[in-house]
Structure 1
Amino acid sequence: MSSADAAPDYSYLGGVAAQLRAPGSSPSGANDWRCRPDARHPQPVVLLHGLSNDTITWNTMSPVLAGAGYCVFTTTYGLGWLGPVGAVTTAQESARQISAFIDRVRAATGAAKVDLVGHSMGGAIPFYYLNHLGGRAKVDDYIALGAPLHGSDLSGVQTAFAGLLNIPGAARQCGGPCQFNTGSPFLRVLDPDPRRSPDVDFTMIVTRYDEVATPYRTGLLRGPNVRNVVLQDRCATDYTEHYEMTADPIAVREVLNALDPTRARPADCTTVLPFVGPVR
């Protein structure tokens, strides 16, 4: 059985193991530049990590989506002072890199639009792409998991260390992560208002046990083109936190439902533990 045919590993730790085995490699199912969308899957899916990389973040989601028939593409954007960890450049620079990657995907596949699935900052930075880089005409579905759309206090850590951000140059060196602190002026520039993109369908997925994008409601939006999903409303025994979200089978099912509502079905409720995944 090839890695592409293997059963998905619904665990964040599986992504960590993949990074240790083959640092910086594309996750299984991603970046087949010969893939062409079909009538059932008309848009290629672009997966965008947060403060991580595509190897770790999309170890589960990528092969599941590819197995469902989607053309899947990933990239690690925003590399800088944290080595293999992306999304550390400014959000503006990360958005420019995302824009260029989306154009590359569109050119390769012949698709006019893509579907975006983003985790954490990867679910928030694309609003800059929509609002300031001409992305509205190039995106059909926008799906975010645990996105700090209205800022995050990092479970109170940001408040405790707020004084450090006043050191000259500290926020600039920190880049994207500091731009999503609660009260950051950048949030007004980002302007995550779905009404500005009426032709885009937004699905915002959050967990009440998020320890990074906090309070968890920072990942929710209001608008006629928005569907908000709180994972514990789907399954009370889903204890996933921020990092496990992209491997959580319940969250993965919600992503599939958002990509193809005509074939949506409820997730199978099970016990999902932080980092580890579902209890067997």
Structure 2
Amino acid sequence: MTAQSSESEPDPEPGPTPGPTPGGAPGGSPWSRIPGRALWSGALWNGHTAELAKATAIDVAVLAGHLLLYPTGILPERIAAPPHQADGQDPQDPQDSQHRAPGATGKARSDPALLPTEGRSHPPVLLLHGFVDNRSAFALLRRSLLRNGWTRVQALNYSPLTGDIRTAAAMLGPHIERVCAESGHSRVDIVGHSLGGLVARYYVQCLGGDARVRTLVTMGTPHSGTRAVPALAPHPLARQMRPGSPVLEELARPAPGCRTRFVAFWSDLDELMIPAEAACLEHPDLSTSNIKVRGVGHLALPVHGSVAAEIRRALSGPGPLPGAIDAA
């Protein structure tokens, strides 16, 4: 498999790296007390001060709206399974053609009035939220998929008491098996935000999930670890997102023959990724596409219309994807 690298920009002129304010002086930025490079120094270093302020304001607005929706996502989602159809598999996916159930024709619906993404039966899509979040984070993305031809989209919750990415990934497996059995599809697609992307990636790479996951899309996922999370953070999940954690070292190991296609969205103004490129996925054994999102912060990734459009494109098939999109 080949890996496509993310769009790169010229490196800034060399100079001293801004460090934290000594002792976290009163009146200074609270982020200046984070070990290592200041949380937003990367954006300042690249001359994005105004853009960062705008992205932060949008993230604050997203957070305020999400707090209102949060109670609606505490309980698990209950959805009715669509009728089982013989053409459940994606006829354009060779993996599905190999695993199609006996008697399935593999013929897609043909209706000239449908939009291009509505012309065939898509695999089920599972949405995995980030740290200390729940399924309500995907309210807009889920609606976008359902309005554009996807018939089975489910946002999942994993327990807030889960203290290990490996445990959350192991719990994901039986649910995917159940979704495949109910839908008639042999594989599913997954969209993960932040920590949810790591949970899904661990399932795919380390637990044999590549047999069940066709495409894994991640948004703002610390694939190489983020220094924004303090090294002594009390929650074990936070420590597992630090660079060099045992979980990330496991994911960096060889993964020959992995059948899942990966698409990683990363933002140049992601306040929780230090460096911002930590959300890129680079692995010699994985089929990867990295898409740079310009102008939005971490929390805005799952709700931004431009990002949703590119996620739909990524889930529609193996066609070419842009190296960057402008979401400002």
Shorter-chain TM range is 0.7 to 0.9
- Residues 147 and 197 from structure 1, CA distance in 2 versus in 1: closer, same or farther, beyond 3 angstroms? farther
2:180 aligned to which of 98, 106, 114: 106
Match of 2:133 in 1: 53
Alignment partner of 2:292 out of 227, 230, 240: 230
State which drifts further: 57-66 or 177-186.
Answer: 177-186
Contact in 2 for aligned 1:12/1:246 (Cα 8 Å): no
- Larger helix fraction of residues: 1
The partner residue of 2:80 within 32, 48, 58 is: 32
The residue number in structure 2 matching 1:137 is: 211
Is there any run of 5+ residues in structure 2 with no aligned partner, and where?
1-60, 90-107, 109-119
Structure 2 residue 79 is matched with structure 1 residue 18: no
- Show CA shifts across 1:39-96 (max 9, x none): 423310011111143433101111111111211012111321xxxxxxx420011101
Conserved 8 A contact 1:91-1:175: no
Provide the secondary structure at the position in 2 that maps to 1:60: helix
Distance 1:14 1:69, change over 3 A: farther
Contact 2:293 2:326 (C-alpha < 8 Å) held by counterparts: no
2:146 counterpart of 1:90: no
Q: Which has the higher contact order (CA 8 A, sep 6+)?
A: 2
Residue 104 of structure 1: how far off its partner (Å):
1.8
Indicate the residue corresponding to 2:245 in structure 1.
Answer: 184
C-alpha separation between the residues in 2 aligned to 1:12 and 1:247?
Answer: 11
Specify the code of the residue in structure 1 equivalent to 2:155: T
CA contact (8 A) 1:127 1:192 kept: no
Query: Which residue matches 2:123?
Result: 43
Q: Is the 8 A contact 2:73 2:134 kept in 1?
A: no
Q: Find 2:265's aligned residue among 205, 228, 246.
A: 205
Contact 2:204–2:260 (CA under 8 A) maintained in structure 1 = no
The structural deviation recorded for 1:107 is 1.6
Residue 278 of structure 2 is matched in structure 1 by 218
Aligned length: 231
The question of 1:72 aligning with 2:174 is answered: no
| Aligned counterparts of 1:61 and 1:192: Cα–Cα separation in 2 | 32
Offset at residue 12 of structure 1 (A): 5.2
Deviation at 1:198, TM superposition (A): 4.0
Whole-Å Cα distance in 2 between the matches of residues 13 and 65 of structure 1?
24
RMSD (Å), alpha carbons: 2.8
Counterpart code for 1:32 = A
How far apart are the structure 1 equivalents of 2:244 and 2:67? 32
Q: Greater CA radius of gyration, 1 or 2?
A: 2
Q: Distance in 2 between matches of 1:258 and 1:31?
A: 24
Deviation per residue, 1:113-170 (Å, 9 max, x gap)? 000110101111222212222201101111100111111111xx52xxx3x36xxxx5
Percent of aligned pairs with the same amino acid: 25
* Equivalent in the alignment of 1:236: none
TM-score for both structures, normalised by structure 2:
0.63
Distance 1:135 1:51, change over 3 A: same
The change in CA–CA distance for 1:247 and 1:89 in structure 2 (over 3 A counts) is same
User: How far 1:199 sits from its partner (Å)?
Assistant: 2.4
Aligned to 2:26: none
Q: TM-score, normalised by structure 1?
A: 0.72
Query: Is the contact made by 1:231 and 1:250 (CA closer than 8 Å) also made in structure 2?
Result: no
The amino acid that maps onto 2:82 is R
| CA 121–149 in structure 1, closer or farther in 2 if over 3 Å, else same | same
Question: Given that residues 146 and 206 in structure 1 are in contact (C-alpha distance below 8 angstroms), is that contact kept between their aligned partners in structure 2?
Answer: yes
- Structure 1 unmatched runs, 5+: 1-9, 81-87, 233-238, 273-280
Alpha-carbon separation, structure 2, partners of 1:35 and 1:95: 28
- Counterpart in 2 of 1:63? 143
The offset of 1:191, in angstroms, is 2.7
